[in-house]
Structure 1
Amino acid sequence: MPTPIAEVPYFSQWESAAMTPEVLRDGKAALRRDPLWRASGAGSVEEYARWADQVCGMACLKMILAHRTSHRWPVLELARGCAEYGGYVEEADGTIRGLIYAPFTRFVRERFGIEARVVTEVTAADLPTILREADFFVASVHPAIRWPEAEPPGRGGHLVLVTEATAEGVVFHNPSGHDRAAQEAVRLPLEVFGGFFAGRGVATYFEEHPC
């Protein structure tokens, strides 16, 4: 069933949500200036800066969990737990690979009792059908979706939390939106969303569903 957007709290993937323009401009140097970095659960500002650009999926999960339980899980705590299942892989050179969907579904099922299903090879037009059964859909989109009026430069590479989808369009929270309008309860027509959508993601369910 669709989840009313007003009931879903918004969280950025960095602790200071207003810092997105700085992060886009300065990268990790900006993240090291985030005065709220400790709230992420990181042990140091360097750990925070290394992970913050990778945890859009954990920000989506934080929103789901806060909606369900009212508890605000630190994103780095979620990321470490997900990494134990293989949802993130830290390479020898320090880079981080993920989110990897299949391990993520096991993580949320075993740690939080949330059923999840990897969805691939779909279009934006399929989202209303998916959201008729699922509570949420974590969708892979191009990060440039924060500027939907521009021509999409590609598809995929970033995750947003879709809470509603109808024939008219989708409503979603974007963990890396650059301002309030691009962050929370963003509404786009299906065809516009589809230009950024990679056709894959993870559907989550609070109740058992047929696989």
Structure 2
Amino acid sequence: MEAISVSHDVPYSSQWESAALVPDLLSGRVKAEDDRLWRRSGAESAADYAFWSWRICGMACLRMALEHWGLESPGLVTLAREFLDAGAYVRRANGDGVEGLIYAPFAEHVAKRWDIEAEVHGRLAPEEIPDLLRDGKLVMLSVHPSIREPRTTPPSRGGHLVLAVGCSPDHLRIHNPSGLPGVSQRFAEVPWQALPRFFAGRGVALRAVP
């Protein structure tokens, strides 16, 4: 790994409106419907919010990037519906879930809607990430959600999106939409040697067009 240190001062956004609730949401002690701030998401109801809140890590990553570049940032569920219409999410026929985030239509809509350069990386090696960050990009990475506790060994890779916002020779720094408050939400450091256990080797690099 090349010795590159980069830090982008990106604001943080959880995929739940109440970021402090994440441990209780993950454990099942609290339901997403009980998040008192659900209306901020643009959801039509608490049930609508609960459905989407578990599925919009990608929207949280996008929102962080938009706010970093001073661009319009709708509520997370509002964004999800917009990308559903754009084909980046697809509702399952039985109605109990969605397929997504689908990178190609996501990147196309991001470019059209906000004039953001969005480059899909179907194959992305960890050693390529520092150069992307050095070029001023923020990188959405597909990782296993247990990356919130990087000492764990996940059963698989991928399934969750985090935003790479910086790096050092020893660590990748991420904003994790489902991270644990005070531990792994903001500028969470993931050792480079641990990253391959979680990282599926794909993502989307975002950069604001000058």
Equivalent residue in structure 2 for 1:109, among 102, 111, 135: 111
Question: For residue 182 of structure 1, what is the aligned residue in structure 2?
Answer: 184
For 2:185, give the aligned amino acid: Q
State how far apart, in whole Å, the 2-side matches of 1:38 and 1:81 are. Answer: 17
Q: What do the CA deviations read for 1:135-173 (whole angstroms, capped 9, x no partner)?
A: 100000000001111223221000000012343221110
Question: For residue 167 of structure 1, what is the aligned residue in structure 2?
Answer: 169
State how far apart, in whole Å, the 2-side matches of 1:10 and 1:137 are. Answer: 14
Question: For residue 193 of structure 1, what is the aligned residue in structure 2?
Answer: 195
Question: For residue 118 of structure 1, what is the aligned residue in structure 2?
Answer: 120
State how far apart, in whole Å, the 2-side matches of 1:153 and 1:44 are. Answer: 34
- Following TM superposition, by how much is the alpha carbon of 1:20 offset from its aligned partner in structure 2, in angstroms? 1.3
Are positions 1:56 and 2:57 aligned together? yes
Q: Please give the residue correspondences for 1:1-211 in structure 2 after superposition, counting only pairs within 5 Å.
A: 4-5=7-8, 7-26=9-28, 30-69=31-70, 71-94=72-95, 95-207=97-209
- Following TM superposition, by how much is the alpha carbon of 1:21 offset from its aligned partner in structure 2, in angstroms? 1.6
- SS for the counterpart of 2:36 is coil
Give every structure 1 segment of 4 or more consecutive aligned residues whose post-TM-superposition deviation is greater than 4 Å.
Answer: none
- Equivalent pair of 2:7/2:167 in contact (CA under 8 Å): no
Q: What do the CA deviations read for 1:45-68 (whole angstroms, capped 9, x no partner)?
A: 111011111100000001001111
- Following TM superposition, by how much is the alpha carbon of 1:194 offset from its aligned partner in structure 2, in angstroms? 2.2
Q: TM (normalized to structure 2)?
A: 0.91
For 1:91, give the aligned amino acid: R
For 1:42, give the aligned amino acid: A
The alpha-carbon distance between structure 1 residues 42 and 31, as it changes in their structure 2 partners (threshold 3 A), is same
State how far apart, in whole Å, the 2-side matches of 1:3 and 1:75 are. Answer: 27
State how far apart, in whole Å, the 1-side matches of 2:82 and 2:106 are. Answer: 10
State how far apart, in whole Å, the 1-side matches of 2:48 and 2:108 are. Answer: 25
- Following TM superposition, by how much is the alpha carbon of 1:129 offset from its aligned partner in structure 2, in angstroms? 2.4
Structure 2 unmatched ranges of 5 or more: none
- Following TM superposition, by how much is the alpha carbon of 1:128 offset from its aligned partner in structure 2, in angstroms? 1.3
State how far apart, in whole Å, the 1-side matches of 2:79 and 2:28 are. Answer: 25
The alpha-carbon distance between structure 1 residues 72 and 109, as it changes in their structure 2 partners (threshold 3 A), is closer
Q: What do the CA deviations read for 1:114-150 (whole angstroms, capped 9, x no partner)?
A: 0101102222122112323351000000000011112
State how far apart, in whole Å, the 2-side matches of 1:169 and 1:3 are. Answer: 11
- Equivalent pair of 1:134/1:203 in contact (CA under 8 Å): no
Query: How many residues end up aligned between the 2 structures?
Result: 206
State how far apart, in whole Å, the 1-side matches of 2:187 and 2:170 are. Answer: 15
